[in-house]
Amino acid sequence: MKKIGVLTSGGDAPGMNAAIRAVVRNGVYRGCEIIGIKRGYEGLLNGQYTEMNLSSVADIIHRGGTILGTARSEEFKTNGGRNKALEFIKKVGLEGLIVIGGDGSFKGAQELCKLGVPTVGVPGTIDNDLNYTDYTIGFDTAMNTVLDAISKIRDTSTSHERTNIIEVMGRDCGDIALYSGLAGGAESIILPEISLDIEKICEKILNGIKRGKRHSIIMLAEGAGSAIDLAKSIQDITGIETRTTILGYIQRGGSPTAFDRILASKMGAKAVDILLDGEENKVVGVNGNDIIAKDIDMALKTEKRFDKSAYDLADILSR
Ligand code: F6P
ipTM score: 0.98
Look at ligand 1, atom 15, and give the residue with the nearest C-alpha: 11
User: pLDDT digits over 249-283, tens only?
Assistant: 999 999 999 999 999 999 999 999 999 999 989 99
Has 127 been annotated as catalytic?
yes
- 222 CA closest ligand 1 atom index: 8
The annotated binding site for ATP is made up of: 11, 72-73, 102-105
Tell me: pLDDT of 1 over 80.
no
Residue type, 235: Q
| Atom 11 (ligand 1) nearest CA | 11
DSSP letter assigned to residue 121? E
Q: One fold for both 3-138+256-301 and 140-252?
A: yes
Ligand 1 binding pocket includes 193 (Cβ within 6 Å): no
Phi, psi of 174 (to 5 degrees): -95, 10
- Domain formed by 140-252, architecture: 3-Layer(aba) Sandwich (3.40)
Q: Could you tell me which CATH number the domain at 3-138+256-301 has?
A: 3.40.50.450
Known binding site for Mg(2+): residues? 103
Q: CA-CA distances (angstroms) from residue 138 to 60, 91, 146, 197? A: 15, 33, 12, 30
Pocket test for ligand 1, best of 171, 246, 252 (most atoms within 8 A of CB): 171
171 C-alpha to ligand 1 centroid (Å): 7
Residue 105 CA to residue 98 CA, distance in Å, equals 11
Measured in angstroms, how far is the CA atom of residue 71 from the centroid of ligand 1?
A: 11
β-bridge partners, 77: none
Residue range 201-240, pLDDT digits in tens: 999 999 999 999 999 999 999 999 999 999 999 999 999 9
State yes or no: pLDDT of 129 exceeds 80: yes
| Nearest atom, ligand 1, residue 13 CA | 2
Q: For the whole model, what pTM was predicted?
A: 0.97
CA of 74 from ligand 1 middle (Å) equals: 15
> What CA–CA distance (Å, rounded) separates 237 from 30?
63
Mean pLDDT in residue range 33-48: 98
| Rounded mean pLDDT, 41-66 | 98
How far apart CA 147 and CA 4 sit, in angstroms, is 38
Task: Please provide the DSSP assignment of 172-233 as one string.
Answer: T--HHHHHHHHHHT-SEEE-TTS---HHHHHHHHHHHHHTT---EEEEEEGGG--HHHHHHH
Mean pLDDT computed over 55-64: 98
What band does 302 get if pLDDT is binned at 50, 70 and 90?
A: confident
Closest CA relative to residue 68, chosen from 109, 27, 35, 104: 35
Q: Which residues pair with 243 in a beta bridge?
A: 164
Residues contributing to the annotated binding site for ADP: 21-25, 154, 185-187, 211, 213-215
Annotated binding-site members: 11, 21-25, 72-73, 102-105, 125-127, 154, 162, 169-171, 185-187, 211, 213-215, 222, 243, 249-252
Alpha carbon distance 164, 241 (integer Å): 9
CA distance 39 to 66: 9
Residue 154's CB is within 10 A of a number of other CB atoms, namely 18
Catalytic residue chosen out of the listed positions 12, 59, 127, 197 = 127
What does the pLDDT average to over 124-142? 97
Pocket lining: 170 vs ligand 1, CB cutoff 6 Å:
yes
Ligand 1 atom with minimal separation from the 176 CA: 6
Q: Is residue 33 scored above 80 in pLDDT?
A: yes
Which residue puts its alpha carbon closest to atom 10 of ligand 1?
11
Instruction: List the domain boundaries for the chain.
Output: 3-138+256-301, 140-252
- Which residue of 130, 169, 247 sits with most ligand 1 atoms within 8 Å of its CB, as the best mutation to test the pocket? 169
User: Is the Cβ atom of 126 under 6 angstroms away from ligand 1?
Assistant: yes
Which 8-state DSSP code applies to residue 257? P
Across 156-176, average pLDDT? 98
Pick from 309, 316, 277, 312: nearest CA to 293: 277
Query: Does ligand 1 have an atom closer than 6 angstroms to the CB of 124?
Result: no
